[in-house]
Chain A
Amino acid sequence: MSAGPYNYSYIFKYIIIGDMGVGKSCLLHQFTEKKFMADCPHTIGVEFGTRIIEVSGQKIKLQIWDTAGQERFRAVTRSYYRGAAGALMVYDITRRSTYNHLSSWLTDTRNLTNPSTVIFLIGNKCDLEGQRDVTYEEASKFAEENGLMFVEASARQMGNRGDNVEEAFLETAKKIYQSIQDGRLDLNAAESGVQHKPSQPGRNNLSADQQASKDNCAC
């Protein structure tokens, strides 16, 4: 209990975007629950997940907004770009159309987030090598041209490639943390997508605060 859910110093907000059926919810599930969800229902509007990770010895809570890929929810999911510190843009390596739509996803991301938002491109379902429709080189070139970080991953396959799911979330966090260290990301800006939490006392733990102030007074 003492290592409760408030023992972290930052909150980073992520958004996962991409066409319908590319496996956004499965990536989230894999990352937060470490399980593959075989029959994942269509997301209605938005789903949510959290996990606490560690970057450079700092505990960071990731708040992840998993948006619906269906066109009919596009308007409502657009609002979640606001205040996202990281955006995971997902396509399906077995369906070229999902790759072709990346530029429109990227435009949305660039328009609706702030310049310091880290964008990570994920080619999902790389366990289905036989059905591959987009080569690694092609996507890698696209990522490079647009200044995105890129990885191919599989939410289904744990082990070598499944780890890439983990890597995508962690690398994004590292880059955001780096921006904070460099002072490029303003923690006080409302839409930065990053909140700093004083790590020690639970912020609403009145008795602890009072205790602390008493200690300070007894000088």
Chain B
Amino acid sequence: MVFQKIFCQQRKLSVTNLQYSLKADGKEADIILSTNKPHNFSILELHAISEFLRKPYPMVDNTESSIDLSPVLDLCSQLSLVNITGSFNHYLHSNIVLNKLSFEFSPFKNLKFLNMKNVALDTIFSLGNLRSTLERLNVDNTNATSVCQILQCDVIHKYNLEGSQKWDRLETLNLSNNNLTEIDNTISLVPRLKNLILNNNKLSSISNLSDLSNLSYLSLCKNLITICNDLHTKVGNILTLNLSQNNIVTTKGFSKLYSLENLDLSCNKITDISEIQYLGDLPCLENLVLTGNSVATTVDYRIKILEFFGERAKDICLDNEKPCQSELDKVSLLRALRIVKEGKTPNLTSSFNQ
């Protein structure tokens, strides 16, 4: 019994810990609930609560006064914002490693926002009804290598998708700073996902996102993405795409991502100005960031990039800066020169606009 072990080895510590939380819960529960700040739980507290729930109730400790858990459970059932921080180090001066203690989420009936940091996901043995209440989930600094280890952390047979495992209300999922190597198909367990943030992982491709018909914000900063072909067949109606700090060399795969409004390609490996031309036909694009690519050091870089957008040049905010009038004049001049040089008439796509 892990719990008894804590009691034996760390009796004082564990009890004070729980009593602390009890006190807070009994008298200050209303205050905790009324502030809109996330409540911080330690793994030890969660473990203790989970173990309590497994025991016949009420549990009376032989030497200490009896501990009434009902205010704690009452608080838990009402909390909507929670932070959990784990640790792989020994807890204080004990031999307890927090991330080896198992815990569950069944006391939480109304949780909307959960932020887990440095937690061992395999110690979570039940998600309770988190799947039907949670709207926003952050999982940070774990050793998870695939999405299923997070979304199915309580499931033994992972990758086996069942309707009951759907995260019905989850709209924002932030799995930054993990070791994800691929976006596996378990991501489709989050059908209402709007914002997906996977910064600082080890992803080399964009996959399995086509089922997410509400996805509009995708951030994949600091990954290992080199090739993005035919992105419009992989993600649909997306508005913001952040791919900064990857290894992208060309924008060819973005050419039909017509819904795109904001594109961040800063700190990639784009060297040739002609690799940007594919963005010229994106009708909704407003913000484009290309700093940190070697292409951004080319002579007349801004003008050459803006030229690809033709009439829309004045609406493009390039590297967080709107084009100034002299730039726009130069763009018009370049376009005129090009028409003369190539001897072709201007492409009258705007003929219907008059």
Contact = CB atoms under 8 A, between A and B. Distances in A.
A80 B236 contact: yes
Contacts of A3: 353-354
Interface string A116-157: 000000000000000000000000000000000000000000
Given A46-B256, A75-B211, A79-B214, A4 B311 contact: yes
B210 A207 contact: no
B180 to A, nearest CB: 22
B100 interface: no
Given A4-B311, A46-B258, A65-B258, A52 B236 contact: no
A78 interface: yes
A202 B314 contact: yes
A77 B353 CA distance: 27
B322 interface: yes
B160 interface: no
Contacts of B216: 82
A5 interface: yes
Contacts of B284: 63
Contacts of B256: 44-48
A167 B230 CA distance: 34
A83 interface: yes
A112 interface: yes
Given A45-B233, A76-B235, A79-B236, A112 B353 contact: no
Contact of B236 (A44, A51, A78): A78
Interface in B232-272: 232-238, 256, 258-259
A44 B235 contact: no
Contacts of A7: 353
A24 B199 CA distance: 38
Interface of B: 210-216, 230, 232-238, 256, 258-259, 283-284, 311-312, 314-315, 317, 322, 325, 350, 352-354
Given A4-B353, A202-B315, 17 more contacts: A3-B354, A5-B311, A44-B230, A45-B230, A45-B233, A46-B256, A46-B258, A47-B256, A48-B258, A65-B258, A76-B210, A76-B235, A77-B236, A82-B237, A112-B213, A204-B314, A207-B325
A25 to B, nearest CB: 13
Nearest to A206: B322
B253 to A, nearest CB: 11
Interface in A1-54: 3-7, 32, 44-48, 50-52
Nearest to B322: A204
Nearest to A74: B210
A80 B237 contact: yes
Contact of B352 (A32, A73, A75): A32
**A6, A45, A83, A205 — most chain B CB neighbours (10 Å):** A45
A91 interface: no
Q: Which 10 pairs of residues, A with B, have the shortest CB-CB distance?
A: A79-B236, A79-B237, A79-B213, A48-B258, A76-B210, A45-B233, A78-B213, A75-B210, A45-B232, A5-B353
Given A45-B256, A75-B210, A202-B314, A83 B353 contact: no
Nearest to B237: A79
A205 B325 CA distance: 9
A3 B352 CA distance: 11
Contact of B215 (A51, A79, A81): A79
Contacts of B311: 4-5
Contacts of A46: 232, 236, 256, 258
**B230, B258, B350 — most chain A CB neighbours (10 Å):** B258
A8 B256 CA distance: 24
A46 B312 CA distance: 22
B352 A52 contact: yes
**B236, B259, B322 — most chain A CB neighbours (10 Å):** B236
A51 B213 CA distance: 26
Contacts of A207: 325
